[in-house]
Each structure stands twice: as structure tokens, then as C-alpha cells.
Amino acid sequence: MKIVIQKFGGTSVSTEERRLLVLEKILDAKKNGYSPVVVVSAMGRKGDPYATDTLLSLLDKHFKESNLQATDLLMSCGEIISTVVMSNELNKRCIDSVPLLGGQSGIITDNNFGKASVINVDTKKLLPILNEKKIPVVAGFQGITEDGYITTLGRGGSDVTACILGSALNANKIEIYTDVDGIMTADPRIVKNASLIKEISYNEVFELAYQGAKVIHPRAVEIAAKSNIPLVVKNTLNHCSGTIINKDGNEKYNSVITGIANMNNRVQINVSLADNDGNSNYFNILNTLGENKISIDLINVFPNKKIFTINKNQFIPFSIMMKNLNIKYSYEDNCSKIALIGNGIKDVPGVMATILKTLTKEGIEILQTADSNTTIWCLVKTPSSVAAINALHRDFNLENKYNCIKD
Ligand code: ASP
Ligand code: MG
């Protein structure tokens, strides 16, 4: 049996018109010889009657914080509504389907309500349905504890449901349908000529997600990567072929950089030994930050100074902590961390040189850099970040790379 998991996001199932497009995607999969397992999110976005955020707005803050189990029960309702409504659409076309709760599809989780981890998937629940040529329509974002309580898997968790089921059923592919064509070389709101990425590796998507690009849940990518199942991000609203996420990504195209992402609201901190002479707290500063849950990155440690960045929203707790430890520091507010991501970086010399040349030509000051096997990060002042990203996007030939191939 060739199995495809087809996950439809909230905007894809939000109106009857869109649900008809969803139906077409399911019928196409059947026509191509696949047995589809459909996973749905709650309908629409905040403000729409059954969207997760709307449901959450029915509860007060105190209740939500102290009744996680009950909050999960409410949050799970959006997906439950979607699954029955989608089953109704299939029924209109005389297609047999079985709407299911996450738990009924076999997803067992721990009892970490609000962010539960899947501990087991019992495929005995779905296989007989597929064998009878019926389509399971599973409520995404939820599972059940061993003692029968409904849990949710963390916000955006329907992607996780799709990949968990794909992996348990050893699916041929997992399709994530949304309202954009796929993963882009850069945020199209920043780079006018951003183009669709045709193929990208699990690793690169992980880096993009870490950098704040909201395309797919990173946990979902991790699960698909472990089972080496290709993931395809596609648009419900057209016939574009989308972005394929797999092990090798775009290796065969010989490109160095696959995509550029950007994270604003960084503050660069500089703590020097000279300013803190005689203060033993200076030597433990990175540990102390960790213990106080202030996350830092772009960390450069020199014999006489430490430079790193923090998120702007942690600056006040950071400054209070520094005051208590009597540590002096200087800082650069309003920075952006640009990440150039590409598996090709490790094989090609001179990538950093190209970045420096490009940014210097544009008159953009680089405050700090760091690199790994797949990513080079540059810290710049936020007002120059748009120009920086556009120049890098142009000089690494990412413009208009691929057309949207119709399948
Ligand atoms: N409806 C859930 C959320 O908004 C899960 C999802 O959409 O993936 O987080
Ligand atoms: Mg989502």
C-alpha cells in the first residue's frame, strides 16, 4: 500500500470553497494510487469561531495557567470540528471516510498537557480503515494519555501529527498544505525577488525554523528526518509543485546558499575583563545567564572579553542580573541576525569572503559573524538589514531561481 499523509492547515479548511480545493488534493492522491491519511488543523485564524486562539480566548489567564488538562480539552475542539466537517465534504462526493480524534488514530502521549510528547502510535487503529479503502480524517495537534485524557502537542502541532503518523505508517511521503507555495529563498516581504526553493534538506529547514522562519514545525521535520520520509510543503490554493524537504536537499544543483533568514530584536552585549577587574563574577557570567534562563547566541569568547547577543525582551532581566553581580558591560541595541543557510557552505571556500565583499560594497557594517557547517550568521544594525539581505540574496544568485512548476 502506498500511503500519503496529507495535512491541511487552518487556512486551507477555513471556508467551504477552500475545503473543495482540499477535496481535489485528496482525490488527486487517490487517482495517483495513494491511500491518503488526512490530518486537519482547526478552521481559520484568531477571530474565526473555531480557531484555537478563539477557543483559548474563552478562558481567563488564571484558569488557563492552573488547569492545563481542561485547557487542552478545549483547545482540542477546533481540530475535532474540522475533522467532522471535512468528513462531511468527502461524504458529499460519496467517499467513505472516518473522522478520528488524535487518540482514536492511535497517538498516545505523556501527560505534559499543552506540550505533550508522543510516546507511542498504535497503527492497529488506522490500518484496518485504510485496508477497507476508507479515508481516515485525523484531528491534528492532539493525542491521548494512557489513562484517557486528551492532550495537545504544542502550538502548530498538526504538522507533528502528520509526521508522527507518516513515520508510524512508513508513508511514502508527507504533504503539508498551507496558503503559500512552499519555502522561499527569503521572506518575500523583505526581498521582492525571493523565489521558491525546489528542494531543501531537513537540516537546512531546521536552521531556517530556528532562525524564526515559520514554515513548518521543527519537531515535525525532526520526525520526518529520522524516518527519512520526504516532506512536501504545498499550496492548497494552486497546483504549484511546492518545496520538497529530504535528506540531500538541493545538493545536485551545486548551490552554495539555499536560503536567507533574519531575526530582528537582537541586542549585542560586550563584557570586558578590563571593565570588571577584580570581580570574580565576570568568569561565571555565561553559566549564570544559563541558570537564569537568559538564552544567548553568537557567542565569541576572547581572553579579555566576551561578546554575545540576547533577545531584546530579555534585556531588562539581563540588566537587573548584571547590576546584582556588579558587572559592567556595553551594548548595541537594535541589531538583526542574518543567517545564510546552505549545505553547500562546507564544500566551498570563500563564502565568508563573498559576504564581507557584498556588505562592504553596500556600506553595511558587520558587527559580528559566526559560522557552522551549514550556516553563516552576520549581525548588522536593524536599519541596514533589509539592504543587507537583498544584496546577499542577489550576490548568491538566489533571485528567480525556480519557477513554480505545476504538477
Ligand atoms: N490549531 C493548532 C494551533 O493553532 C495546531 C495547528 O494549527 O497546527 O496551534
Ligand atoms: Mg501550522
CATH of the domain at 95: 3.40.1160.10
Is 350 inside a domain boundary?
Answer: yes
Q: What is the pLDDT, as a whole number, of residue 122?
A: 97
Interval between CA 153 and ligand 1 midpoint (Å): 9
How distant, in Å, are the alpha carbons of 138, 142, 157, 161, 219 from that of 116? 17, 8, 10, 12, 12
Residue that is last in its domain, among 179, 199, 217: 179
Residue 156 and residue 25 share a domain: yes
Kindly state the cell numbers that stand for 165: 503518523
Number of domains the chain contains: 2
Range with lowest mean pLDDT among 112-126, 262-276, 340-354: 340-354
Give every CB contact of residue 326 below 8 A, 6+ residues apart in sequence: 279, 281
Round to whole Å and give the CA distance between 163 and 176.
9
Percent of the chain with pLDDT over 90: 91
Q: What is the pLDDT, as a whole number, of residue 214?
A: 80
Interval between CA 215 and ligand 2 midpoint (Å): 8
Residue 174 and residue 50 share a domain: yes
Residue 160 and residue 57 share a domain: yes
User: pLDDT band for position 406 (50/70/90)?
Assistant: low
Is 192 inside a domain boundary?
Answer: no
DSSP label of 379: E
Q: What is the pLDDT, as a whole number, of residue 15?
A: 97
Round to whole Å and give the CA distance between 45 and 378.
34
Query: What is the atom index within ligand 1 of the atom nearest the CA of 161?
Result: 8
**Reduced to 3 states, what is the DSSP secondary structure of residue 328?**
coil
Residue 147 and residue 14 share a domain: yes
Question: Does the pLDDT at position 298 exceed 70?
Answer: yes
Kindly state the cell numbers that stand for 130: 485504510
Question: Does the pLDDT at position 30 exceed 70?
Answer: yes
What are the tens digits of pLDDT across the range 335-387? 999 999 998 888 788 899 999 999 999 999 999 999 998 999 999 999 999 99
Question: Does the pLDDT at position 211 exceed 90?
Answer: no
The per-residue pLDDT of the chain, averaged, comes to: 95
Q: What is the mean pLDDT of residues 167-196?
A: 95
Domain range for 331? 259-395
Interval between CA 370 and ligand 1 midpoint (Å): 34
Question: Does the pLDDT at position 407 exceed 70?
Answer: no
Residue 367 and residue 267 share a domain: yes
Q: What is the mean pLDDT of residues 122-137?
A: 97
Cβ pair 197, 402 in contact under 8 A: yes
Residue 25 and residue 166 share a domain: yes
Question: Does the pLDDT at position 403 exceed 70?
Answer: no
Is 339 inside a domain boundary?
Answer: yes
**Atom 6 of ligand 1: nearest residue by CA position:** 156
Is 221 inside a domain boundary?
Answer: no
Question: Does the pLDDT at position 212 exceed 90?
Answer: no
Residue that is last in its domain, among 158, 179, 200: 179
Strand partners, 118: 109
Give every CB contact of residue 243 below 8 A, 6+ residues apart in sequence: 181, 182, 183, 196, 197, 198, 199, 200, 232, 233, 234
Cβ pair 37, 165 in contact under 8 A: yes
Is 202 inside a domain boundary?
Answer: no
Q: What is the pLDDT, as a whole number, of residue 247?
A: 95
Round to whole Å and give the CA distance between 331 and 227.
44
Interval between CA 344 and ligand 2 midpoint (Å): 28
Round to whole Å and give the CA distance between 101 and 123.
14
Residue 297 and residue 163 share a domain: no
Tally the residues of the chain.
407
Q: What is the pLDDT, as a whole number, of residue 213?
A: 79
Residue 23 and residue 143 share a domain: yes
Q: Which ligand is nearest to the CA of 79?
A: 1
CATH code for position 386: 3.30.2130.10
Residue 284 and residue 171 share a domain: no
Is 100 inside a domain boundary?
Answer: yes
Cβ pair 67, 124 in contact under 8 A: no
Residue 31 and residue 173 share a domain: yes
Residue 171 and residue 23 share a domain: yes
| Residue 362 exposure: Cα atoms within 13 Å on the Cβ side | 21
Residue 268 and residue 136 share a domain: no
Annotation: binding site = 7-10, 52, 79, 178-179, 189, 214-215
Q: What is the mean pLDDT of residues 158-184?
A: 97
Q: Regarding beta strands 118-121 and 330-341, do their DSSP bridges make them parallel or antiparallel, or are they unpaired?
A: unpaired
Round to whole Å and give the CA distance between 198 and 401.
9
Instruction: Ligand 1 pocket test: pick from 5, 80, 151, 158 the residue with the most ligand atoms within 8 Å of its Cβ.
Output: 158
Is 196 inside a domain boundary?
Answer: no
What are the tens digits of pLDDT across the range 82-115? 999 999 999 999 999 999 999 999 999 999 999 9
Q: What is the pLDDT, as a whole number, of residue 253?
A: 77
User: pLDDT band for position 215 (50/70/90)?
Assistant: confident
Annotation: binding site for substrate = 52, 79
Is 98 inside a domain boundary?
Answer: yes
Kindly state the cell numbers that stand for 147: 489513562
Residue that is last in its domain, among 179, 211, 243: 179
What are the tens digits of pLDDT across the range 250-261? 877 778 999 999
Residue ranges lining ligand 1, Cβ < 6 Å = 10, 41-42, 52, 78, 140-141, 155-159
What sign results for the dihedral spanned by CA atoms 331, 261, 11, 81? Answer: negative
